[in-house]
Structure 1
Amino acid sequence: MSSSRFSDLSAWTAAQHGLRSDEIRLAPAGGDASFRRYFRLTLPNGATQMVMDAPPAQEDSAPFLAIARRWHAANLPVPQVHAADLDAGFLLLDDLGDTPLQARFGDSATTLPYLHRAMALIAALQNRASPEALPAYDAALLGRELDLFPEWCLTRFLDLPTPPEWPALRQALIDAALEQRVVSVHRDFDAMNLMVKGDHLYMIDFQDAVAGPLSYDVISLLSGRYRRFDAATYAALVEHFYREARRDGRLTGTLSAEAFLTQCHAMAAQRSLKVLGIFCRLTLRDGKHGYLERLPHFLDHLTDSLAALPAHANFMNWLETQLRPVLTARLSALEIAE
């Protein structure tokens, strides 16, 4: 961040409180995979808020602002936006602290109650927030996301040919996603995007929300960046979500728990393939090399999903006999440990 932009950010932030720049303190509070950066504002009385710096040339903050206001009005736990200058790319938000849900995960006795609370938050989102104003998570978008895998992971990062089974898998995953009920989807409901403050969970980083499949946010939670559940635990958590969705009417009709689990595995496979492509793109295009070390983790997630989709056994075999060894060798050559 240039010194002139930081000066502009400081002046704007201070002005929101009728103060001078030298009367406030801004400290870096992290960033994310985009060009957004965050600063913690400390006021003279000790109160804090969060300032988002989203350069308008790279980031359009209008969706974040619109969704934040709608979801806040729907009584969903999101940071309140106290001020915004979209032309400058500055937003002033609630400070939700420094504790993501991921930090509260420990053994099963500790983790499972938090996961159930997170699933209850998904239910609140799906029940209270209308998906009508959100972009559609349609076949075109699902396909563009999937295409990141052969383009950025296979071709550009690994120089590996796309297997002949890819078109059939790609279409099957799109079809499976479109079979589901359409709801409001956070789209990155990872435990790192859920903040724990007091006794409450809050959602952040929801600017890419879409109208899409009912299972997407729960598989984002269960197939996240740092945690991998065994098959039995995964199935039990999905069944918990299924029972709650049946109970409150989000799921109707004759869809069985087993069929819903299959939908979740297909959705998780789509997301893992997308993430593998995105992480390679972040490295090759944007110079953000910290994401490469997470590739084996999401390859494991993909393996778990495909193991539950026997129709794609040939792709699974290619993944284990060709993709995994090539990826392991490439990361080893770059001195990136699994």
Structure 2
Amino acid sequence: MTARLDALRHWTASHHGLEATPPELEIVTDDASFRRYFRLSLGNGDSRILMDAPPERENSRAFVEIARQWRSHGIQVPELYHVDLDQGFIEMQDLGDDMLRQHLARADQREALMSQAISTSVAIAALPVDTLPEYDERWLTDELELFPQWCLTRWLDLPVPESWPQVRDQLVTALTAQPQVCVHRDFHAQNLMCHDERLWVIDFQGAVRGPLAYDLVSLLRDRNNAWPENDQVRWIETWREAAQAAGIIVPMPPEAFRRMVDLTGAQRSLKVLGLFCRLALRDDKPRYLTLLPLFVEHVRQGLTGQPGFETFMQWFDTCFVPKLDARLIQHRTASQES
């Protein structure tokens, strides 16, 4: 890591005439991938964000191509100043540290910002998808299998319920039956930045051609407590009406669209339960375990009362959740003692 950081420091110094004294870089964040981000402060008060994405681990070409295409279609994404795909280094516009998530707790700002986020999501759904990979049946199935592989078997040592194959297949069928549109795939409040009184989109390199409701679910049911039902009903309906007005979908009843949202939310949340356990166990990122209870609630919101999921939800509430709660307490106690 030190060698890559030195290489990044010298690379960016060459673009700003700083070779004599390569600049110090401020760590901004890492994420669930192998990418790291740093802030470069320039002498005139300006700054840049530097992405370090090892090319053998991350596909920076997709990031660059999508950034340029989306920007040309009016989506607010950071400007790219310098790109080196061979080394996996990108210098881009600094949007600051002001994430949408930090504003959503304030009732006086929430509605206007959510309206912007919904409009941005609909605009992304309307983008061309010709060059994007398909979020197809196999991909969705592989994602769902993270739940039994990593959450049940490796984290909880819990047998996979007999109802799981049916649940998995029902969810995959429901998502592939939706209109397939341009999907950011991580369109949540940590990837929407408040800058110059507008929302800007980051972390879009995983964009795909995928299910209509996926980005809306990412916005409403991610690393936050479930929004009150009346708020969700209003925002879901706003998205549906905007998508219809934009010609992205043909008119459909609100109930049909809500079912799309709920089943999509269940697929994404079950995937995340497995993914976060994998991040903890394989990639030594145990902080993700603290987020598991949020996605338990998102699964409940998506599947409770849905026809065909009754047996699974009985197991989920009476077997899985108590086991998970006990394991998290055990993990927390061990962490405090170490």
Cα offset, 1:308, TM superposition: 4.4
What's the counterpart of residue 231 of structure 1? 229
Deviates further, 53-62 or 160-169: 53-62
Q: Which of 134, 137, 144 is equivalent to 1:136?
A: 134
List aligned pairs for 1:71-220, cutoff 5 A: 71-127=70-126, 129-220=127-218
55-64 vs 318-327, which moves further = 55-64
Aligned to 1:302: 299
SS in 1 for 2:54: coil
**Whole-Å separation in 2 of the counterparts to 1:59 and 1:102:** 26
1:59-88, Cα deviation, whole Å (9 max, x unpaired)? 221111111111122221111111111111
| 1:96-146 deviation per Cα after TM superposition (whole angstroms, max 9, x unaligned) | 10011000112444322211110000111122x201110001101110111
Aligned to 1:270: 267
Work out whether residues 307 and 316 of structure 1, in 8 Å CA contact, stay in contact via their aligned partners in 2: yes
User: How many equivalent pairs are there?
Assistant: 334
Question: Quick one: distance in 1 between partners of 2:213 and 2:268?
Answer: 11
- Taking a change above 3 Å as real, the CA distance of residues 47 and 16 of structure 1, as seen in their structure-2 partners, is same
State the Cα distance separating 1:23 from its structure 2 match. Answer: 5.9
CA RMSD between the two structures: 1.5
Structure-2 change in CA distance of 1:73 and 1:318 (3 Å)? same
Q: CA deviation at 1:19?
A: 2.8
Match of 1:43 in 2: 42
- 1:27-65 deviation digits (Å, cap 9, x = unpaired): 111111111111111112121110001122322211111
Mapping of residues 53-68 of structure 1, within 5 Å: 53-68=52-67
5+ residue gaps, structure 1, are none
Closer, same or farther: CA 308–65 of 1 in aligned 2, 3 Å: farther
Distance (whole Å) between structure 1 residues aligned to residue 7 and residue 238 of structure 2: 48
- In structure 2, runs of 5+ residues without a counterpart are none
Counterpart of 1:211, as a letter, is R
The CA deviation at 1:280 is 0.4
Mapped partners of 1:249, 1:274: distance in 2: 30
Q: Contact 2:9–2:22 (CA<8 Å) still a contact in 1?
A: no
Aligned equivalents of 2:22, 2:289: Cα separation in 1: 41
Once residues 290 and 26 of structure 1 are traced to their aligned partners in structure 2, the CA distance between those partners, rounded to angstroms, is: 24
SS of structure 2 residue aligned to 1:228: coil
Identity of aligned residues (%): 42
Matched to 1:40, the amino acid is R
Match of 1:257 in 2: 254
SS at match of 2:309: helix
Q: Tell me how far apart the structure 1 counterparts of residues 277 and 22 of structure 2 sit (CA, whole Å).
A: 42
Q: Give me the whole-angstrom Cα distance separating, in 2, the residues matched to 1:77 and 1:233.
A: 26
Shifted more, 278-287 versus 78-87: the winner is 78-87
